[in-house]
Amino acid sequence: MKIDALVYEIGSTTTVVSAFHGLDTSTPQFLGQASAPTSVLEGDVTIGIRLALRALEQQMNHPIEAKETFATSSAAGGLKMSVHGLVYDMTVKAAKEAALGAGGNIRFVTAGKLTEMDRKKLSSMPLNMIMIAGGVDYGESQTALDNAKIIASMKRNIPVLYAGNIVNQEAIAEIFLEEGQTSYLTLCENVYPQIDQLRVEQPRAMIQKLFEEHIIHAPGMESLRSEIHGAILPTPGAVMEGLKLLYEDEDIMAIDVGGATTDIHSVAKGNDAVQRILMSPEPQEKRTVEGDLGVYINKDVLIDMIGPSHLMEELQLTKEAWNQLLLDYKPIPSPSQIPLVSLLTKEAVRVALSRHVGHYKPLYTTSGRTMRAEGKDLTAVRKVYLTGGALVRIPGGDRLVENALASLGSDLLLPSSKVEIMMDHDYIMAACGVLSKQHPQAAKQLLLQSMRKE
């Protein structure tokens, strides 16, 4: 059976294959989807891809021949990055926003000149990419130069993106040339060119491009490129691309609960009244990733947050039944496991939202007490899109999110109770995000068809 495209979504625990056709027509089709355990630990992700593809072919009763293949990946930790800037609340924050929005998994952050302890950590840390920022354009320049010398001298042989003071670009290039690391250096515009100005679009695009070029060198991923003819994106970055397809000048957000992490994505300008009292700028497109909030790999963290005794009472389980439930816990939940996964999902959403969203903050001045706002403003969000296995595959995901929103404090800059919750029924948000690189109109149409109320 000849089709237009296959998309491989290689997750931490599961690999999903989705099939599409009619991408160059006015009626694109989602043909089907199948999954298999991810095989990155076996040293070859294509094992899991082939198992999922075989399952899809059985489902469709035909061998499949695709004109194009695409992929997203969060396997093996996804895009593991470190970020190094000058001032934490300025250039470091801007660099983090660029990295997270591109789908990065930030493992290490520093502000100011790297210390000897920083250098030791950085030299041994498993990373796919390093990002250097620091200094507004034509401002402070020495810190970024010093950090570049330290990083280049390590000879990590991984991509390094410089997105700091543009005055430094020639000198940074010379530093990497002297260390024989020129082929690993990429220069782009400053993520923080002026005070209170973020410019994250080009750095994000460069991060995704570098990920696509170098991901095949990660352990277990070497054979991936031979399977893919189209784009490869970090899965969280692909979800953000999918959310951007749905943005039409009305604030929106997406919640993605997975086995290892819970990601919140928002594309939001914010409420005018809140923007007037905001203490520092926020990007219109923002992503936060909570590496401690996953319903499989990090289930124990969520269990401790809620309390085992409370969960046993809520689920009406004896101590013996509780222990057996944990012993039998699998990445794809059985019917007996679903009530626990639902409670863990609700807690993951609640905590992740509280970390993503901004809040009102009282400020005391010589004129008395006044109210300010800090962080991301979601008060104008009208639609929330749900994706990720825990929300899409388990019944009642929309109610879980409604309850999580209602349980959070009134001082947070959250959407109102009138928000519309839409479910990614076909589970193709990440797939459409990477498809949009070549087929934007079809990807948007497919995603709109998938996003419905439960």
Domains and CATH numbers, the chain: 2-76 (3.30.420.40), 79-217 (3.40.50.280), 245-295+335-427 (3.30.420.40)
Q: Residue holding tokens 């086995």?
A: 259
Residue 77 has pLDDT above 70, yes or no: no
**In this structure, are residues 375 and 413 in contact, taking their beta carbons and an 8 Å threshold?**
yes
Span 390-416, average pLDDT: 89
Q: Which residues make beta-bridge pairs with 362?
A: 371
Q: Which amino acid is at 239?
A: V
Q: Which residues make beta-bridge pairs with 369?
A: 364
Rounded Cα gap, residues 16 and 180, in angstroms: 40
Span 210-221, average pLDDT: 68
Which pLDDT score is estimated for 215? 67
pLDDT tens digits along 266-283: 999 999 999 999 888 888
Q: Residue holding tokens 């020129």?
A: 182
Residue 264 has pLDDT above 70, yes or no: yes
Which pLDDT score is estimated for 220? 61
Count, residues in the chain? 454
pLDDT tens digits along 79-106: 889 999 999 888 898 888 888 877 788 8
Mean pLDDT (the chain, rounded):
90
Cα–chain center distance at 83: 16
pTM for the whole structure: 0.84
Q: Which residue has the higher pLDDT, 424 or 48?
A: 424
Span 290-317, average pLDDT: 93
Which pLDDT score is estimated for 389? 84
Report helix, strand or coil for 28.
coil
pLDDT tens digits along 22-42: 999 999 999 999 998 887 666
Which pLDDT score is estimated for 236? 86
Percent of the chain with pLDDT over 70: 96
Strand ranges, E, within 335-429: 359-365, 368-374, 383-387, 420-424
Question: Band of the pLDDT at 144, cuts 50, 70, 90?
Answer: very high
**In this structure, are residues 358 and 376 in contact, taking their beta carbons and an 8 Å threshold?**
yes
Strand ranges, E, within 244-327: 252-257, 262-267, 285-290
Give the DSSP letter of residue 296. Answer: S
Question: Band of the pLDDT at 302, cuts 50, 70, 90?
Answer: very high
Q: Which residue has the higher pLDDT, 316 or 228?
A: 316
Residue 179 has pLDDT above 80, yes or no: yes
Lowest mean pLDDT among 44-53, 226-235, 382-391, 411-420: 226-235
Report helix, strand or coil for 441.
helix
Question: Band of the pLDDT at 350, cuts 50, 70, 90?
Answer: very high
**In this structure, are residues 84 and 131 in contact, taking their beta carbons and an 8 Å threshold?**
yes
Which pLDDT score is estimated for 114? 96
Question: Band of the pLDDT at 239, cuts 50, 70, 90?
Answer: very high
Rounded Cα gap, residues 118 and 106, in angstroms: 15
Q: What is the DSSP string of 33-69?
A: EEEEE--GGGT-THHHHHHHHHHHHHHHTS--EEEEE
Residue 229 has pLDDT above 90, yes or no: no
Q: 332-338: long-range contacts (C-beta < 8 A, 24 or more apart)?
A: 332/14, 332/35, 332/389, 333/394, 338/394
Which pLDDT score is estimated for 199? 87
Rounded Cα gap, residues 389 and 333, in angstroms: 10
Span 219-229, average pLDDT: 69
Residue 50 has pLDDT above 80, yes or no: yes
pLDDT tens digits along 408-418: 988 999 998 78
Which pLDDT score is estimated for 221? 65
Which pLDDT score is estimated for 450? 97
Torsion sign across C-alpha atoms 72, 387, 428, 32? positive
Rounded Cα gap, residues 371 and 252, in angstroms: 25
Residue 219 has pLDDT above 60, yes or no: no
Per-residue tokens: 175: 């530093």
